[in-house]
Amino acid sequence: MDNVKLSNDKRKVIILNQTKLPNTEEYLTVEKAEDMFDAIYYLKVRGAPAIGIFAAYSIYCLSQTISEQNYDGFLGRFVEYAEYLNSSRPTAVNLSWALERMKWVVLNNKNHSINEIVDLLEAEAEKIQEEDINTCYNISKYGLTLVKDGDGILTHCNAGPLATSRYGTALGPVFLGKEQGIHFHVFVDETRPLLQGARLTAYELMQADIDATLICDNMAGMVMKNGWVQACFVGCDRIAANGDTANKIGTSSVAVLAKYYGIPFYVMGPTSTIDMDCPTGAEIEIELRDGGEITADYYEKPMAPGGIKCYNPAFDVTDHELITGIVTEHGICRAPYTKSLFEIMKKESRI
C-alpha cells in the first residue's frame, strides 16, 4: 500500500492516516496548506523519510495554487509555503532537506515559465519518492549482512514501510530477509507515549507474517538479559556530523542497555537524514509535545490526575559512542563517525 501519493488530478496529496492504525485503514486527502501542516504535526504522516516525501508532494500541490505568474512573486509565495510546512516539526531533517531540494528546482530554473517550473517540481517530488525506495532497499541489503538466520532483533518506534516507501530502514533487513528465506524474531518496543511500535511496527510485521513479540519499553533490558536479542536496529531523524543520532524518545535507553549487555546497536537511515551542518547532538532541536499525549491519548479516560506536570520530548539523542554502526544506502559507517560520515557524504556529493 502507498502511504503517500498524489491524487489523480495531481492537486492533492493522499495519505494513509497513521493515527488510526492498526484498527482502521483510513486514507486522507489533503489540499490546503493548514491541513498539510496538521498532517505532519499530528503524525497522520510520520517517520522522517515519509515526512520528506509528503512535504515534497505538498509543496508541489501548493505551487499550483500560486496566482503570481511573475518569477519573483511566485518564488516569494513558494518560500512562504515551504517555511510554513517546515515549521510543523523540528527534529527530522528530511523535512527541510526535501523542501530545500524543491526550492532549488525553483531557483535553478528562473529562465523557465511558471508552468514549466511547476512541472519540474512534480518530477522532483516523484524523484524523491523513487529514490527513497532504492535507498531503503540498499539499507536493507547492508543491514542484512549484520545478522544471521534465527537472530532476535529489537526495534524501537517504527522505521518500516509506513515511515518510508517500501521496506523501511530499521525493519528493511527483516522484510528483505523474509523474501530471501532468512527469518528473524523481532522484539517490538511499544514506544510510549504515541505507541508507534505497538500500533505500527506490530501491524506491519504481522501483515508480513513475520515472527514478532510486543514488549513494553521497560521490558527491553529483560529480553536482552535473557539472551533473546542479537542486535538492535533503529531508525533516525537526524544524524549529526559526529554520529550522535536523534531518534524516537527511548532510543538512547535501548542503546545504553545494549552496551551493557554487549549487543550491537545499529542506526539505519538514508544519507538525507545526515546533517553535516550539525556538529554534534547537542545542536539538534528536540521537539517538545503536549503532555496530553502521556496522560490521555490512546486511553479511554485520562490515566493520570488532571493538572499533573508533564515533560514530553518526542526524541532523544543517542551518543555516537553507543552506536556500533550507521547503515546508509552507500554502506555501513563505523567509528570514528566524523571521518566515515564525511566519506559517505562525499559519495552522495553533498559536501
Among 5, 103, 238, 248, binds ligand MRU (CB under 6 A): 248
Among 16, 47, 167, 330, binds ligand MRU (CB under 6 A): 47
Among 90, 173, 193, 235, binds ligand MRU (CB under 6 A): 235
> What span, in angstroms and rounded, lies between the C-alpha atoms of 27 and 262?
43
The interface region with ligand MRU, picked from 46-54, 182-190, 223-231, 296-304 by CB under 6 A, is 46-54
- The cell numbers describing 136, all together, are 531503503
Note if 237 is an active site residue.
yes
Give how far Cα 5 sits from Cα of 15, 53, 309, Å.
7, 9, 39
Residue 230 lies near ligand MRU (rule: CB under 6 A): no
Residue 267 lies near ligand MRU (rule: CB under 6 A): no
- Position of cell 537526524? 238
DSSP label at residue 213: E
Residue 46 lies near ligand MRU (rule: CB under 6 A): yes
Residue 192 lies near ligand MRU (rule: CB under 6 A): no
Q: Is 131 helix (H, G, I), strand (E, B) or coil?
A: helix
Residue 35 CB, nearest approach to ligand MRU (Å): 18
Residue 164 lies near ligand MRU (rule: CB under 6 A): yes
Residue 298 CB, nearest approach to ligand MRU (Å): 14
Residue 248 CB, nearest approach to ligand MRU (Å): 3
> Using an 8 Å Cβ cutoff, are 140 and 173 in contact?
yes
Beta strands in the chain (DSSP E): 4-6, 13-16, 27-30, 152-155, 185-189, 212-215, 231-234, 238-240, 245-248, 265-268, 274-275, 315-318, 325-328, 331-333
* Paired residues of 154 in beta bridges: 187, 232
Closest to ligand MRU by CB, 63 vs 273, is 273
- The residues of the shown chain that bind ligand MRU, judged by CB under 6 A, are 43, 46-49, 92, 157, 159, 163-164, 168-169, 196, 235-237, 247-248, 314
Q: Which residues are catalytic?
A: 237
